[in-house]
Structure 1
Amino acid sequence: METEKNNTQINLHLVMLPFFAFGHISPFVQLSNKLSSHGVKISFFSAPGNVQRIKSMLNPNPTSQIIPLTIPPVPGLPPGFESTSELNPTQSELLKVALDLMQPQIKKLLSELKPHFVLFDFAQEWLPKMASELGIKTVFYSVFIALSTAFLTVPARLSGFKTYPSLEQVKYPPPGFPKTSVTSVKTFEARDFLYMFKSFNQGPCVYDRVLSGLTGCSIILAKTCNEMEALYIEYVKSQFKKPVLLVGPVVPEARTDKLEEKWAGWLGRFEAKSVIYCSFGSETFLNDDQIKELALGLQLTGLPFLLVLNFPANADASAELRRALPEGLLERVEGKGVISTGWVQQQQILAHTSVGCYLSHAGFSSVIEAIVNDCQLVMLPQKGDQLLNAKLVSGDLKAGVEVNRRDEDGYFGKEDIKSAIEMVMFEVDEEPCKTIRDNHMKWRDFLLDKGVQDNLIMDLVKEMEAIAGTSGN
């Protein structure tokens, strides 16, 4: 029996099938790396255009493989462009259409591979039925925090409504929602959430896809932990009445490659913890007015800053930047402020001794990176789960500050940027800065506790092995 048990541990085989967006692919890769280090076999499905980048992120392991899928032609979807980072919003919606057309191909691969589990994403709500027919269990891997699921995509969200909720209804939590700091959201945030209930190309809306996936799967896997989100996790369990396993925040491994000399040299000129690093990722874009107020707010702090801005696919980044930046700003901040476009080594920049503050869109991976590198968090969320991430960190965890914004349209001015940064960078011994810094350090210690993080993964592997052992695989 012991040999049989050990064989089960060695042979546990998972297929990873994230949506074709790197905000989704990256958490699946990070999880794959954690699991493969515990002997789990990984087969990673994605579009051919994403394979090289995934290969560069996935730890080399003889039990891991990347399997390219064939993207079927879809009118309006440019051939060869296979992740949302290369597409405009309308084209990105067509990737969901392409995924729906890939069902026969995916079914054939699964029937050949016969994995114990398929970990899937929000856009593949048809997968549980397909996998069940093949005797394979399915895991809905939510790459969002539990608060996001609890607030937006539980059955109770439509409780008592004959139609999808209105703008006013989306401002407030669903029935039964736990008592926490999140009691409502602003009008501009609720307006963004209405995207969840909008149908594109006559297909199901995001809410319907997510709810169907969560309802149909064998297991829900959440990228969080009880220490951070116990109340929301319990609420999700009560809504779906099935196992909710936790992988933890998935702390990224420290990078071993050196920071480019261009940035190392510039950052090295400043005192420890004095530089503001500001970035919104590769798929979150600010409009001209937002860029102007942000840049002026950074200037007003008097602190050195590195601002990284990106623009939609096919845009001329240099021209966009010239148009958006306030006249004369580059001259005024010369020697103290740098504005860049394109990809940078974010983890290495955050780890640099001179960087003391990270102003971001509150993507949760970025939040974790900031905390583990002891960079104070200022959050300026733009869309979707970012809006709720910021509420968890600033409200429940009290480990960062969110930039104040106008209720109706989300407007913020330069003074709002300046005030938020000053709260965590200058008022060190005063409330609420002291509380924020103390909590920031508490969560940093928790995230950097390798024993705690390893135990989360080991517990997950054991739970999945136990379930696989009863599945007949």
Structure 2
Amino acid sequence: MDTKQKRIRVLMFPWLAHSHISSFLELAKKLMNHNLYVYFCSTATNLDSIKPKISPHHSLSIQFIELKLPLLPELPSYYHTTKGLPTHLLNALFKAVEMSGDGFATILKTHNPDLLIYDLHQPWAPTLASSLNIPAILFYTASAAGPFFAFHAWKKLKGEEFPSPEFYINDCFMPTKSSRNEFGRTPPDSSNTEKTFQAFRHSLDIILVKSFSELEGKYMDYLSILLNKKVVPTGPLVRDAIEEHHENEKEILEWLTKKRKASTVLVSFGSEYYLSNKEREAIAEGLELSEVNFIWVLRFPVGDKDKPKLEEALPEGYLERIGERGLMVEGWAPQAKILQHTSIGGFVSHCGWSSVMESLKFGVPIIAMPMLMHIDQPLNARLVQDVGVGVEVKRGKDGSLEREEIVKVIKQVVGEKDGENIRNKAREMSNHIKIKRDEEVDEVVQEINKILHKGGLKIHDKKVNV
């Protein structure tokens, strides 16, 4: 008999973004370590990129399932991922995924998993699973503070007061009533709010959240009450640095090793955000004036015909002026290996949730620089500041970055005595993560067993207090 038939079989269905896929893949590895068998469903483009990340140890416990998207003239197959996707094609990708329901239903019927773990952006997936008597649970790959804020932002539109003043964010980040959607991330031409709520409501009994109680305990407790479902943290789910392999990592790490302990900042804004010319200029000038060492990972959209050369994208003479104090890296860098290096003293980050988790795992304080049009990032930045592991770079009233503010925050976090509390708090969070190891995943597996023991009931919408 096939050994996988003796084990709980889980189908994991992440959204097509790099951070979502990475989070699902790390959770998959943890579940496989608990003797669960995983079907991992995504597009061919994404599967090709993650298959090399599976160790021989895990290869016998996972099967990759291709989700075939309908071919749209504006969306060739190499764009069936958000990695390198031009911003104007994001709506087309959402549309293609929504049109793939029949294909996904066939996948469910063919493999008949014991459980579906789905993502926020596929609220229709649990309905399909329910029709086949397959229980489904949501894995939310961002902070618990995000839905906490979103539910109350909508309540405020109805005249209710927002309960948590530390999460007030600059008006330049706030969407209007007509455009407010899934924390700023889903396409503006769909009924996103109701779909977002559906994704939470349709999760059976529990909701998995990529977080840990020392960081977000009060928000997870609140969401459990609000949603009438148990919110179960998975832990940070950070990929082991030893698993990272980049062609330029030797050069980067050799450069970093020459720097003093905690004297250098990593500057990176995620895999899907491309800086505007004004943002790039302000950051470049801020780094130059800060007088700290830095590694700056700079990205441009894949296939951009107007992509500038590196020296053209920076202020004139910039590379010559910074000299050995700065290292410019175009494209990708081994982020985890850089963050765990002793020469790193801070992380200038957009505060994407996966980057926040990586920074805290390695005890690196955060210079929080969230980007416009991403409501989750300023929320994460406020959370980082509220718990004392970083400081937010405040934008001007018009939303612009100002070099003087960048300099001030970098020096505060990395160099000044006032920043010692921040650095200590970041190390404290790192110690919590190390001590707990996989305690959160142990609870996840226990909750999955409870659901399956109940017989895999169909989706039922418990009362949600929103």
What TM-score, normalized by structure 2, do the two folds share? Answer: 0.89
Matches within 5 A, 1:309-388: 309-315=298-304, 319=308, 321-382=310-371, 383-388=374-379
Q: Give the alignment partner of residue 382 of structure 2, picking from 391, 400, 403.
A: 391
Matches within 5 A, 1:7-406: 11-59=7-55, 60-152=58-150, 154=151, 157-159=153-155, 175=161, 178-179=163-164, 181-182=166-167, 184-191=168-175, 194-196=179-181, 204-218=190-204, 219-255=206-242, 260-315=249-304, 319=308, 321-382=310-371, 383-395=374-386, 397-406=387-396
Matches of 2:28 and 2:128, distance apart in 1: 23
From the superposition, tell whether residues 112 and 120 of structure 1 become closer, same or farther in structure 2 (CA, over 3 Å).
same
Tell me how far 1:256 sits from its aligned partner.
5.0
SS in 2 for 1:221: strand
Q: Deviations over 1:335-368 (max 9, x none)?
A: 2212221111111122222222211111122122
2:439 equivalent to 1:455: yes
From the superposition, tell whether residues 180 and 471 of structure 1 become closer, same or farther in structure 2 (CA, over 3 Å).
farther
1:224/1:249 contact within 8 Å kept = yes
Matches of 2:18 and 2:319, distance apart in 1: 32
2:10/2:37 contact within 8 Å kept = yes
2:434 equivalent to 1:443: no
SS in 2 for 1:319: coil
Percent identity, aligned pairs only? 29
1:8/1:469 contact within 8 Å kept = no
- Bigger mean CA offset, 134-143 vs 328-337: 328-337
Greater relative contact order (Cα < 8 A, sep 6+): 2
Q: Deviations over 1:378-418 (max 9, x none)?
A: 111112311111111111x11111112113x3212111111
What residue is the counterpart of 1:471 in the other structure? Answer: 455
1:29/1:57 contact within 8 Å kept = no
Q: Deviations over 1:212-259 (max 9, x none)?
A: 111122132111222221221122222221232221222332315677
- Amino acid in structure 1 at the alignment position of 2:174: A
SS in 2 for 1:77: coil
1:356/1:374 contact within 8 Å kept = no
- Amino acid in structure 2 at the alignment position of 1:54: I
Matches of 1:181 and 1:192, distance apart in 2: 20
Q: Deviations over 1:176-212 (max 9, x none)?
A: x654622x21111113894517999896333222111
Matches of 2:444 and 2:185, distance apart in 1: 35
What residue is the counterpart of 1:4 in the other structure? Answer: none
Q: Deviations over 1:109-140 (max 9, x none)?
A: 11222212111112211122211111111111
Tell me how far 1:89 sits from its aligned partner.
2.2
2:11/2:115 contact within 8 Å kept = yes
1:310/1:341 contact within 8 Å kept = yes
Matches of 2:402 and 2:198, distance apart in 1: 40
SS in 2 for 1:144: coil
- Amino acid in structure 1 at the alignment position of 2:9: H
From the superposition, tell whether residues 370 and 289 of structure 1 become closer, same or farther in structure 2 (CA, over 3 Å).
same
From the superposition, tell whether residues 439 and 180 of structure 1 become closer, same or farther in structure 2 (CA, over 3 Å).
farther
From the superposition, tell whether residues 258 and 179 of structure 1 become closer, same or farther in structure 2 (CA, over 3 Å).
closer
- Amino acid in structure 2 at the alignment position of 1:215: R
Tell me how far 1:426 sits from its aligned partner.
1.6
From the superposition, tell whether residues 159 and 301 of structure 1 become closer, same or farther in structure 2 (CA, over 3 Å).
closer
- Amino acid in structure 2 at the alignment position of 1:207: T
Matches of 2:441 and 2:299, distance apart in 1: 34
- Bigger mean CA offset, 50-59 vs 418-427: 50-59
SS in 1 for 2:59: coil
Tell me how far 1:38 sits from its aligned partner.
0.9
From the superposition, tell whether residues 32 and 392 of structure 1 become closer, same or farther in structure 2 (CA, over 3 Å).
same
2:20/2:141 contact within 8 Å kept = yes
| Count of residues in correspondence between the two structures | 446
Tell me how far 1:327 sits from its aligned partner.
1.6
SS in 1 for 2:370: coil
C-alpha RMSD of matched pairs (Å):
2.6
- Amino acid in structure 2 at the alignment position of 1:311: F
Matches of 1:201 and 1:322, distance apart in 2: 34
- Amino acid in structure 2 at the alignment position of 1:405: R
What TM-score, normalized by structure 1, do the two folds share? Answer: 0.87
SS in 2 for 1:44: strand
1:293/1:414 contact within 8 Å kept = yes
From the superposition, tell whether residues 237 and 160 of structure 1 become closer, same or farther in structure 2 (CA, over 3 Å).
same
Matches of 1:127 and 1:273, distance apart in 2: 46
- Amino acid in structure 1 at the alignment position of 2:437: Q
Tell me how far 1:39 sits from its aligned partner.
0.7
From the superposition, tell whether residues 84 and 454 of structure 1 become closer, same or farther in structure 2 (CA, over 3 Å).
same
SS in 2 for 1:277: strand
